[in-house]
Chain A
Amino acid sequence: MSLATISLLIPLLPLVSSAIVPLMIRVRRRYVELFSVIITGISLVLSLVLLMDVVLNRYELPLFIRYTSSIPSFSIFIDELTLVMLLIVPIVSFLVVVFSLGYMKEDEAYIRYYTFILLFIGGMLGLVLVGNFLYLYLFWEVVGITSCCLIAHWYRRPEASKAGVKAFIVTRIGDTFLLASIALIYLRFGTLSYRDLISKMMLSSTITSPPINIAKLLTIPLILAFIGAMGKSAQFPLHVWLPDAMEGPTTVSALIHAATMVKAGVYLIARFETLLHYSGINPVLLMPFFKTVVLIGGFTSLFSATMALVALDVKRVLAYSTISQLGLMFLALGLGGYVGLHEAFTAGVSHMLSHAYFKALLFLSAGAVIHALETRDMRLMGGLRKYMPITCTAMTIGALSLMGFPPLSGFISKEEILKVASEAMKVMPWGSIFFTLTSILTAFYSLRLVYLVFFAPPSEYVTKHKPHEAESVMTIPLISLMVLCFIAPTFLLYVLEGYKIEVHIHGLLKSAMILALGAGSAYLIYFKEVISRERVLALRPITVINEILFNGYYIDFFYERVLLKVLMGLPSYIASVIEQGINFIIDRASVIILGSLPSYIAFLVDSGVEAFNNALVRLFVNLSNILRSLHTGEIHHYVSSVIVGLVLVLLIILVGVMML
């Protein structure tokens, strides 16, 4: 099977299968599940085959495979970024689908669930493989819509339904900006194909074009695309949908809102960086863009980490953590403008890979806990390590990787980010500041999470429920992800050109300090209880801070109660103001200058328009009735119409000829 065929089949199989699943409505559930597992398994195998083929045969990257000669052409673009995404999406998708066999086994709407899951997987694979921005946008939308449908899977619950709508609306804002970016790119470069863009950008950056043109051409589209990425990857201020998206099944949260879909925004920015790199453009020319990415990514990472400190819903903690870690990825990518694209890309992408595995691990572990206890409230948990040892180990390893504990993958990828942040310290100190503060808070809330769920004294709820370990179909994916948390950097060694695992003493010391501050304080407060948490929380300033963080800085409140009302009410308010103004002017003018004539004319126009509309409708309806009445159903009328028609046509022609 050729590389071109494999590349096409990888997204095509799940896409086509998503159309087959609804037809299996009468088929036994087991077969539907098996079908879904097989399809995702085949996609996984094909992805690994593609990866190995490219790596072992040392193909010169990037590879561009064109399938059609039409415009826009469908093509696939394979480079290191694609290969990294192929390590993430198919693997996590397969493990989540396997996990779903156990987690969703009580759910009656399994047909809908697997349809959307397969459609999502196909969309995500398509998104990372295509070599054209138009098709990228198409798959971007597929991924967005399926995500919203999956969030609202249990739509009979109002919270789930509302969360799905919210996700749709918020991501829509970002998608609009992305579309604008794509339109601008097309207007400025005349193409949306990655390969052609690289050539055109390369041409623009040569001596014939002064470099200033690149900044003018690219800055705004890149910033617009970043806003699009912000929507998908839940960056401030478009982050509000992700915590609420936890209303969906945990498998959906693991796959979509931790490992894959939210990475689409990071992928998009990384993709732009690769295009810049291939075309040899100096990133210094695009500093406004990179600065924006660093500042927003960094701010979001810290801002979200603070909210995770106080959340009580286990999935919500992980949601905030995801937003925070995505912010760090953007921060890393943004530092490409300061330290060089390759280093920043390596940092961002390696963290994307390791995050996918440990976050999926954390979510699935949380899912196993929720499945056992039927609650997400951590106050009702505690002491679960006795009942669910495998899940406890899984969540602990996931948390340790999240904290950046060596030798786990999270440690390696965070070292990369730390390295680039330190290098850029002199010109962009915020990178280091955001990273350090976020990492400290991350270590804190990760340990807090593990403690409250597994190590705290068991609550009455736990002792009443007597939970048990998840079944093997759920624990096997957990074990697989645990292994991946260790070996992820090994993947990168083979995939990323020039990637080396380097850990310097300075970096080690800094990481140790971060862990000590963050995890250490969490350990002292929770495990050792050196201070009474209740007494601290009772302090007025702490209560206020806790309240603010717990309510997400009241941003949701602002959006829903203030901004939405203003935005919805503003047009009609403006319209009513204008209308009143016009009416006032007309009335006054007519009274002062022309009597009542203008208002009379206005009245005539208004009623005229309405009358015209009504008349038009009546005309069409009456004509229709008349024309229908011509149809008598009598055959002799039919023949007569033929003869009359023939005579008329001949007459017209003869008259016409005579007049010529």
Chain B
Amino acid sequence: MINEGIMLPFYTLLGILPIMAVVVHALGKTKEKFLLANVSYIASYVLLACLSVKIRSTGISELPLFSLRKAFVLNPTSLTLATLMTFASHMLLLGAYMNRKSVMDKFDVILFMLFSAYGIIFSDNLIVLLLFMEIGLVSTAFLFIERNRESIEATVKMTIMLILGGIFLAIGFSGLYLILRSKGLDLIALSLSYLSGTPQLEQGSMSILTLLFFTLILVGMGIEVGLVPFYMWLPDVYTGPMAIASAFFILLVDTADLYALLRVLPLYEHILTGTYTIKMLFTNVVVLISVISFILGELSALTQRRLRRIFGYSGIADAGYTLLLATYLAILGISIVKPSIPLAIATFFILFSNIALSNIVSLIGLGETKGITTIDDIRGLPWRFPLLSANLIISLLSLAGVPPLAGFMAKFFVISAISSTFRRLIVILVIIFFGVCAAYVLRVIATLWSKTSRVTREEESVIQLIPFIILNVLLIICGIYPRLILEFMMR
């Protein structure tokens, strides 16, 4: 239902970011850019808070974009995700500024990334989703590009791959639209809320076509999030650009894309329900891709020596788990628009995995200025930089799934979700590869604590680490009391 009382704050939220980005771009001094970027973030908090309060009383709201009805949908899950993502990226922004990272010149681009993330999270229409994904791609490319070979290479690879992904998505969405238009539907047919309530399509050749177009959508989304076999660009993106730039990508664009996967993929359950066996076939293919993704991701990380690359592969594994969760939502027939416990726990997983990953990558980036790039370089780090090491260890432990951190709850939710729906073999595989993840993370931690020669304490600033400390505190709080977030997501 379209709620006009929500339109103003929502469009202000969407509108303010690109406008502020342009203004930031026009400003000369870094300090002014930083201040204005902070103002944009504060404005975002306020507007998100207004929207959250409104949603509590009005319920789920659908919003148009020009003549396109149902372009956006607001629900508590997406608002909570957006809020936490905003907060975490704000911390990264502060961290970048305090540590004098080169992204300080690109606050405008970061605001655009945030804008694209909002668009992806709140989009209700597949075309709008694709549009914001492309905006995300462009802004990420601008953020990554630096005057060094590795970052240029990573940017080019990412751009090419994501353009390909966008093409597959465009073809898939268009095909779907054509099929549905033959039923007399307009662009509203591409609305997620509409499609998740769509009556079943009849059997026959039409359903095969739908299946083929949906496969293209799956491939397109697979490229966007880094599923196997479309994953190869993802580790490069973790290693090539500046660490803080990669961290922004992980937190904003990657998280939003994974959330989009959670919402788009389950549509097949509603669209293909007329043909049970075809739906089962598609489910099996999706599960196969997800299993291969997390197996490949975790195994590849196991013997990796470059620190950021280890976590790049971890990102691939997380994409695999997310796809599995999306399939879980599909099998349950969950509405991807209305808040529900399965959607909330899946969102919890992607959010806190990516917060941990972005924090780890940022902290490694801080270490890179001191010559730390491979796993051997971190030996004795706690003695050299105790506070940096402590922060890194907390984020690593969260990623490994050690209680009482958020990563443990995230993984626990994944296991409890899939154990009720999938075969025992899948559950066992997930548990084993969570164990593999813990193994390579703990390998990093163990290497941290080993030292080959005398190491002396070097100077480190507490103030510069405060944003990352705050993110770790968030991981701890949400690990001890995950219900706090889940209740917000389901209210």
Contacts and interface: CB of A to CB of B under 8 A. Distances in A.
A and B assemble together: yes
A649 B289 contact: yes
Contacts, number: 89
Contacts of A628: 300, 303-304
B218 interface: yes
Interface in A282-309: none
B246 to A, nearest CB: 17
Contact of B211 (A19, A633, A639, A653): A653
Given A70-B483, A621-B303, A627-B300, A638 B233 contact: yes
B303 A23 contact: no
Contacts of A648: 229
Given A631-B232, A638-B157, A641-B229, A650 B462 contact: no
Contact of B219 (A637, A649, A656): A649
A653 B160 contact: no
Interface residues of B, number: 45
A524 interface: no
Nearest to B298: A624
A623 interface: yes
B144 interface: no
Nearest to A69: B487
B285 A649 contact: yes
Interface in A619-660: 620-621, 623-625, 627-628, 631, 633, 635, 637-639, 641-642, 644-646, 648-650, 652-653, 656-657, 660
A374 B232 CA distance: 67
A633 B168 CA distance: 23
B212 interface: yes
Nearest to A656: B281
Interface in B431-479: 436, 462, 466, 469, 473
Given A25-B462, A633-B236, A649-B289, A638 B161 contact: yes
B332 interface: no
B361 interface: no
Given A620-B436, A638-B232, A645 B219 contact: yes
Nearest to A633: B236
A602 B451 CA distance: 40
B281 A660 contact: yes
Contact of A26 (B235, B289, B462): B462
A19 B469 CA distance: 11
B235 A650 contact: no
Q: How large is the interface on A (under 10, 10 to 19, 20 to 34, 35 or more residues)?
A: 20 to 34
B369 interface: no
Interface string A18-62: 010001011000000000000000000000000000000000000
B223 A642 contact: yes
A389 to B, nearest CB: 45
B278 interface: yes
B253 interface: no
B277 interface: yes
A635 B156 contact: yes
Contacts of B469: 23
A649 B301 CA distance: 25
Interface string B263-303: 00000000000000110011011001100000010011111
A123 B164 CA distance: 56
B230 A642 contact: yes
Contacts of A660: 277-278, 281
B403 to A, nearest CB: 13
A648 B285 CA distance: 10
A534 B476 CA distance: 61
A551 to B, nearest CB: 40
A451 to B, nearest CB: 49
Contact of A620 (B208, B302, B466): B302
Nearest to B164: A642
A72 B315 CA distance: 33
B164 A650 contact: no
A202 to B, nearest CB: 29
A631 B154 CA distance: 13
A581 to B, nearest CB: 35
A648 B292 CA distance: 14
A26 B459 CA distance: 13
Nearest to A659: B281
Nearest to A635: B157
A273 B150 CA distance: 70
B219 A646 contact: yes
A657 B223 contact: no
A19 B474 CA distance: 13
B282 A620 contact: no
Contacts of A641: 229-230, 232
B473 A657 contact: no
B215 interface: yes
A23 B467 CA distance: 12
Contacts of A624: 299-304
Nearest to B235: A631
Interface string B213-228: 0011011001100001
Max chain B Cβ within 10 angstroms of own Cβ: one of A23, A624, A650, A656:
A624
A660 B278 CA distance: 8
A633 B300 CA distance: 14
Nearest to A138: B480
A648 to B, nearest CB: 8
A631 B160 CA distance: 16
Nearest to A627: B300
Given A624-B299, A642-B161, A653 B232 contact: no
B476 to A, nearest CB: 10
Contacts of A23: 462, 466, 469
B299 A657 contact: no
Contacts of A627: 296, 299-300
A532 B320 CA distance: 85
A627 B436 CA distance: 15
A589 B212 CA distance: 67
A318 B285 CA distance: 73
B302 A650 contact: no
A361 to B, nearest CB: 38
B229 A657 contact: no
B278 A620 contact: no
A54 to B, nearest CB: 28
Nearest to B302: A624
A19 B281 CA distance: 53
Given A637-B232, A645-B230, A650 B300 contact: no
A624 B212 CA distance: 33
Contacts of B168: 646
A239 B153 CA distance: 67
A392 to B, nearest CB: 45
Nearest to A628: B300
Max chain A Cβ within 10 angstroms of own Cβ: one of B153, B208, B211, B300:
B300
B473 A639 contact: no
Interface of A: 19, 23, 25-26, 68, 70, 620-621, 623-625, 627-628, 631, 633, 635, 637-639, 641-642, 644-646, 648-650, 652-653, 656-657, 660
Given A641-B230, A641-B232, 12 more contacts: A19-B473, A623-B299, A638-B160, A642-B164, A645-B219, A645-B229, A646-B219, A649-B215, A656-B281, A656-B284, A657-B208, A657-B211
10 contacts: A70-B487, A620-B302, A625-B303, A627-B300, A631-B235, A633-B236, A639-B160, A641-B229, A649-B285, A660-B278
For the complex of A and B, list the 6 residue pairs with the smallest distance between their C-beta atoms, beginning with the closest: A645-B229, A624-B302, A624-B303, A656-B281, A638-B232, A70-B483
